[in-house]
Amino acid sequence: MGIKKITAPSMPEAFQKVKDEVGEEAVILSSRVVWTGGVFGFFKKKQFEVVAVMDDDNKLQESVPLPVLTETVDLIEEKPVEYEQSLLNELAELKEMVTSNQKAIDPDLAVYPSSIQKALELLLDQELDERYVAKIAERLLVSWRQAKKEPSEKDVIQEAKKILAEQIDQLDFSPSGEKKFVALVGPTGVGKTTTLAKLAAHAALEEKKKVAFITLDTYRIAAIDQLKTYAGLLDIPVEVAYEPEDFIKAVESFADYDQVFIDTAGRNYRDAGFVHALHNILSMENDLETFLVMGVTMKERDIVSIMDNFQHMSIDRLIFTKADETKVFGSMVNIMLKYNLPTAFVTTGQDVPDDIIIAVPELFVDYIFGDGSE
């Protein structure tokens, strides 16, 4: 980190020299007006002196105040009134430059026309992965160049929606076929039990199926009680499997049922051994559909960590919960595209059997562009 002193005839020129000689990430530590040259105290030239530093780690960006022009009292007394007015003009110009710089767009977006920049900023604000944003940007630029007249921001947004939908639509959103056993796996606190009840309620009330519950979540008494409450309201039997043998017996007892919904414990999903043991229990691969449940409000790096552990287990589709608790939805698209897994449902609240939406590509486009979050 080096400090450099730069002088120039005006503050804008000094500001530009800082960027040229120190770098775009330079931090201005101080600035002042100095008077140089002259004969017998006359014909002095005003210069602007700026002290700047390059901080590669950006550690000074927040702690260093904006540059403020300072002058010693004796210099103020020496110069005529017109110089004071000139100084005020320079200060106003500097403030305008600083404000403009603070509002500047991401330098990586500066190569695109302004209408495209707006669309890309929206995608980045939604935390869509930069790799996918870059692909959208390339296609938007091609369309922009081929257009007979310059597209409006609205036109660009519509094109961006179309491109994003095509990216998501590459995944297979068609139902994987109704399996007898439906298992929900995922971490604690994402709403697996409530989601399971919503799916069971739809099957029982709308499709008139004969359904049942099995729970493997014996670590939390509250989870068992919650599922039993739902089972009572829906008039659905429920079995609690404390051991693998209990699970096998429960499966056998529901042999004549149309569909069996399986709840699992929400702990230790970062433990590959735990996931492997769960896989051994849920071994009816030919007649089992497994959904991995994640909360939209989770940190994406935590989702990735859990997803990586589940690579050894057959996950058919995803379910994202708590879409009503955030305004940022890029993680859903990032995870689907990264792991080539479609989403089956998105939940938007606690109400059973409501507050659940069948997922289609257009749903995620609406979320990303602000059309589906209200």
Q: Is the pLDDT of residue 372 over 80?
A: no
User: Encoding tokens for residue 19?
Assistant: 């960027």
pLDDT of residue 269: 59
| 203 neighbors 182 (Cβ within 8 angstroms) | no
| 171-220 pLDDT, tens digit each | 988 876 678 899 898 888 899 999 999 999 999 999 999 999 998 877 67
8-22 average pLDDT score: 78
pLDDT of residue 338: 94
Who has greater pLDDT, 33 or 360? Answer: 360
- Cβ neighbours of residue 93 under 8 Å, at least 6 residues apart? 10, 11, 12
Which residue pairs from 154-160 have beta carbons closer than 8 angstroms and sit at least 24 positions apart in sequence?
155/115, 156/115, 156/116, 156/118, 156/119, 157/118, 157/119, 157/122, 157/369, 160/119, 160/123, 160/136, 160/369
pLDDT of residue 306: 86
Is the whole model's pTM more than 0.75, yes or no? no
Who has greater pLDDT, 176 or 317? Answer: 317
Who has greater pLDDT, 333 or 152? Answer: 333
| 71-110 pLDDT, tens digit each | 433 343 444 555 455 555 655 555 555 444 444 445 567 7
pLDDT of residue 238: 93
Q: Is the pLDDT of residue 313 over 80?
A: no
| 276-286 pLDDT, tens digit each | 556 666 665 56
Question: Quick one: fold of 181-368?
Answer: Rossmann fold (3.40.50)
pLDDT of residue 374: 46
Confidence at 334, pLDDT banded by 50, 70, 90: very high
Q: Is the pLDDT of residue 343 over 50?
A: yes
pLDDT of residue 73: 37
Q: Is the pLDDT of residue 5 over 70?
A: yes
Where exactly are the structural domains of the chain?
A: 3-102, 107-167, 181-368
| Lowest-confidence segment of 49-53, 83-87, 156-160, 333-337 by average pLDDT | 83-87
57-83 average pLDDT score: 44
Q: For the chain, give the percent of residues with pLDDT over 90.
A: 39
pLDDT of residue 33: 74
Paired with 238 in beta bridges are 213
pLDDT of residue 268: 55
